[in-house]
Amino acid sequence: MHKLISLEIRRNHLRPYHMAVLICGFTLLAFHYFMAAIPLIDPTETDIEMFSSYHFLFHLNHLLSMSAFGILGAVMGTRFVIEEYSGTRAILSFSYPIRRKKMMGAKLWLIFCYPVVAMLLGGIVIDSIFSFTERFFPFCTDSLTWKTAGWAFLSLLCHSLLAGTVTLISTWIGFLKQSIPVTIVSAILTVTILCQILSLTFSFRPVLFILLGIAVLLTVMAVKSFFHLVENMEV
């Protein structure tokens, strides 16, 4: 599996995705500070205390990160999966002396892990930078406790995994339709629904775990469908 993933990385340059991750990171960090500064920009804003809370700011940043990296992962899915199994490229993919299921598994593992790891590492850096600068230029009215930091990391991990599931589910939908636009639209719709639910219930933490469980279940079903479809493809 490791050799197949390395082969996929060599065949498909990741530099554009690395650049996209950096752009997302800087944008999310800037937005983090912008949201924290709202009480200073507009002191008459309703629910002003909410914008001065670590819990709210971390939650909002993780939602936006999940959306960005879920869509980025879907874009990767169009390149690594949908384009590779359409037209003459499918013939080339099936010409390798490797089981179809194993080749597909390497591609799916790569497009799942990339947004998850990128978001997790980027989120740790962003949250750490913000927390460190709070010592010198405080925006939040509450204090950052170990409990808050622990929940922030758990939240980041769950949202990162959600980004990975969005990637695979939207890629699966696009694969069924053999359509790149359908893949991107599916990812946008999925993250929009997730953000709406998690925004409305952000104070009720179990919802995050419930949604993650449902997403993982759907992802497992999608992966099994991927394997079945690729094993029965005719070129």
Q: Which two tokens stand for residue 205?
A: 């933490």
Q: Specify the pTM.
A: 0.90
**Pairwise CA distance, residues 67 & 189, whole Å:** 10
Q: What percent of the chain has pLDDT over 70?
A: 88
Q: Which residue in 17, 36, 16 sits closest to 129, CA to CA? A: 36
Share of the chain above pLDDT 90, in %: 50
In the block, residue with structure tokens 């197949």: 4
Q: Spell out the residues 6+ positions from residue 220 whose beta carbon is closer than 8 angstroms to its own.
A: none
Q: What is the pLDDT of residue 102?
A: 83
DSSP state of 141: S
The tokens for 193 are 């629904």
The pLDDT of residue 171 is 95
3-state secondary structure of 156: helix
> What is the separation, in whole angstroms, between the first and last Cα of the chain?
24
Asked whether the beta carbons of 85 and 79 are under 8 A apart, the reply is no
- Give yes or no for residue 44 having a pLDDT over 70: no
Q: How confident is the model at residue 147 (pLDDT cuts 50, 70, 90)?
A: confident
Q: For the segment 87-143, what is each residue's pLDDT rounded down to a tens digit?
A: 666 666 666 667 878 888 888 999 999 999 999 999 999 999 998 988 888 877 777
Strands (E), the chain: none
Cβ(234)–Cβ(90) under 8 Å?
A: no
Region of 45 on the Ramachandran plot (φ > 0 left; ψ -120 to 50 alpha; else beta)? beta
**Most confident segment among 79-88, 116-125, 205-214:** 116-125
pLDDT of residue 46: 59
**Radius of gyration (Cα) for the chain, nearest Å?**
20
